[in-house]
Structure 1
Amino acid sequence: MNFDHLKVFHTVAREKSFSKTAKILHMSQPNISSQIRQLEESLDTKLFKRTTRKVDLTQAGEILFQSAEKIIYIIHQTQKDITLLSNSTHGVLNIGASLTLGEHILPRMIGHFKKEFPHVQIVLEINNSDQIIEKLKNEKIHIGFVQSMINSPEYRQRYFYEDELIFIAAKDFILQDSLDFRNSLSPDEIYSLPFILREAGSGTRQLIEEQLIKVNVYPSKLNVILELDNTQSIKSAVEAGIGISIISKASVQHELSLNTIRELSIQDLQLKRFFYSVYDEKKLTPAGETFLSFIHKDKEQ
């Protein structure tokens, strides 16, 4: 039995589609059909019941699928064990991350990781959560990093980073007409201030509004004077003194260090969000396992 044929069969059986399998494995659909036909000929049995709408397994196909799951897992695990035995983690690791993680948090972690594991080549893509899960499903990335738990029980999800959302203003921004340069405000006082936020309907805007509601601050009462579609534009608008904003503290470390932006403290109000790694344990490579172990240090103890 040809292992490549078995892998193609396993993917078709899992996706119940020849066309989806062709996209996932980067093969032509006729090639997929040909490999399935060769496998059926070698076993002298039909593996799929084909209709115009869907692809279902025959009884023989069901038996083979169960075995294929075990065979592929064993081969995958064996490859990892041999790599670990060589005491040299290497290979290409493709990861996908949401914007804040991909631009401001993971690059530092990757830099530290590369110092210890220089033979691992990491390719980082920045996507939204839906795109990350789609790429995981299509095996285009090994690990995804998202800003909230997702409804995908087939993947393992692990907390690995707590992000603080802070209120920011320009260094010389006047909070009140009385030339007030205070950095500490009561929650009620923020309703009169001009806000710059992400556009309505964005994931980040929704998250901020959810966090505000939890601490009895009502987003509908905020004086939103400007909506922008990316973090860099918001930072530039705040630096220009147009208004204040709520943003990930990790994304403004440079501006805070240069003192072009200052952090505002709101009494009894702290906003946090949690980031998670998402992956299929059965398909994790040695490089992926090593990277996860590295970034999850002490998080689950």
Structure 2
Amino acid sequence: MDLRRLQVFAKVYEKRSFSRAAEEVYLSQPTVSGHIKSLEEELGVQLFDRLGREILPTKAAELLYVHARDILLRVEDAQHSVDAFLGRLRGDLVVGGSTIPGQYVLPGFIGRFRMLHPEVRITLHIGDTRQVVDSVLAGTLEAGVVGAVVEEERLAYSPLMEDELALAGWPGHPFGDSLDTAELKRAPLVFREPGSGTRMFLSKALRKAGVDPVDMNIVAQMGSTMAVLNAVRAQVGLGFLSRRAMVEDLEAGKVVEVGLPGIKLKRQFYLVTRKKRTHSPASQAFMSLCMTGLEEG
């Protein structure tokens, strides 16, 4: 059984798409389809049902995937061990970041890392905290940087740096320069979606201040930080944002900060990894750069 075919199969299984799998493995879509067809012929079984643009794995594919992931992880570990012995950094490194660290922190450190290790090709996946954590657990990401801790005994978290949220409004909004807890409950608010690190942290911080999010006037939920910022500009409501995401708009006068006396909104970004996983030399070097360099940055 050809190892490359197994790699392609595993990616198609995970992505549920030939085109998205092709992007991940740097092959054309016809080549990916050819690998799957050859594997099906070799095994004498259909692995995917093609339902128009949608593909669904068959029971045979589910059984094969369990073994394929085990084989691929063992091969990856073997490659990592040899590279570590030889002291070389090369190949592909896949890391993830939740929205704020993924957009505003990690690109700079990827640039610094590439200057030190030009033979390593890095892919950065950005999602909400839950998506990043799930990908670390599944082994599709070697490491991630997230804005909240999702309790899971198989994961390890290391604090990296501080971030702070603030409440943003549009210029001339009618809610005042600052809000007490009673006023905050009445004001129209735009939140991130459940699953985001910002939402997880914010809910905890508000409850500590005696404000239950259930009692708040949440008029909209957005799937990204930029969507929250644009909603504030469009006067949908006041929005909680990382200062990193709103600094340019504050300076340009496109949004204003609304004070929240007595509510502490400082949080940590964390490096998240899976316990007991053997990391590639490139992954180890990148994590070391993050641990020593993020505070300096």
TM bucket by the smaller chain? 0.5 to 0.7
- State the match for 1:288 in structure 2: 283
- State the match for 1:103 in structure 2: 103
User: Which 5+ residue runs of structure 2 have no aligned equivalent?
Assistant: 15-24, 26-34, 45-62, 65-69
Q: 1:32 to 1:124 in 2, by over 3 A?
A: farther
- State the match for 2:231 in structure 1: 237
Say which one has the larger Rg: 1
Give the TM-score normalised by the residue count of structure 2. Answer: 0.65
- State the match for 1:83 in structure 2: 87
C-alpha displacement at 1:132, in angstroms? Answer: 3.3
Mapped partners of 2:167, 2:213: distance in 1: 14
Mapped partners of 2:249, 2:278: distance in 1: 40
Mapped partners of 1:289, 1:97: distance in 2: 17
Aligned letter for 1:105? V
C-alpha displacement at 1:141, in angstroms? Answer: 2.6
Mapped partners of 1:286, 1:228: distance in 2: 37
Alignment of 1:18-167 (within 5 A): 28=39, 76-84=80-88, 89-167=89-167
Alignment of 1:238-253 (within 5 A): 238-253=232-247
Q: State the SS of the aligned residue for 2:81.
A: helix
C-alpha displacement at 1:296, in angstroms? Answer: 0.7
**Could you tell me whether the CA contact under 8 Å between 1:169 and 1:244 is conserved in 2?**
yes
Q: 1:114 to 1:252 in 2, by over 3 A?
A: farther
Percentage of pairs with the same residue:
23
4+ residue stretches of structure 1 with deviation over 6 A? 19-22, 24-27, 29-33
C-alpha displacement at 1:269, in angstroms? Answer: 1.6
User: Which 5+ residue runs of structure 1 have no aligned equivalent?
Assistant: 9-18, 34-53, 56-64, 177-181
- State the match for 2:199 in structure 1: 205
Aligned letter for 1:211? A
**Could you tell me whether the CA contact under 8 Å between 1:22 and 1:32 is conserved in 2?**
no
Give the TM-score normalised by the residue count of structure 1. Answer: 0.65
- State the match for 2:212 in structure 1: 218
C-alpha displacement at 1:142, in angstroms? Answer: 2.1
Mapped partners of 1:121, 1:259: distance in 2: 39
Answer with 165-174 or 148-157: which moved more: 148-157
Aligned letter for 1:238? V
Mapped partners of 2:84, 2:234: distance in 1: 52
- State the match for 1:297 in structure 2: 292
Q: State the SS of the aligned residue for 1:145.
A: strand
Q: State the SS of the aligned residue for 1:296.
A: helix
What is the aligned counterpart of 1:188 among 182, 186, 205? 182
Aligned letter for 1:208? L
CA deviation digits over 1:108-154, x for unaligned, max 9?
A: 32233333333322101123445434434554332223333334434
Q: State the SS of the aligned residue for 2:172.
A: coil
C-alpha displacement at 1:29, in angstroms? Answer: 7.9
Mapped partners of 1:96, 1:113: distance in 2: 15
Q: 1:113 to 1:230 in 2, by over 3 A?
A: same
Mapped partners of 2:265, 2:84: distance in 1: 40
C-alpha displacement at 1:288, in angstroms? Answer: 0.9
Q: State the SS of the aligned residue for 1:165.
A: strand
Q: 1:256 to 1:277 in 2, by over 3 A?
A: same
Q: How many residues align?
A: 247
**Could you tell me whether the CA contact under 8 Å between 1:194 and 1:243 is conserved in 2?**
yes
- State the match for 1:173 in structure 2: 173
CA deviation digits over 1:27-60, x for unaligned, max 9?
A: 8489799xxxxxxxxxxxxxxxxxxxx99xxxxx
Q: 1:256 to 1:120 in 2, by over 3 A?
A: farther
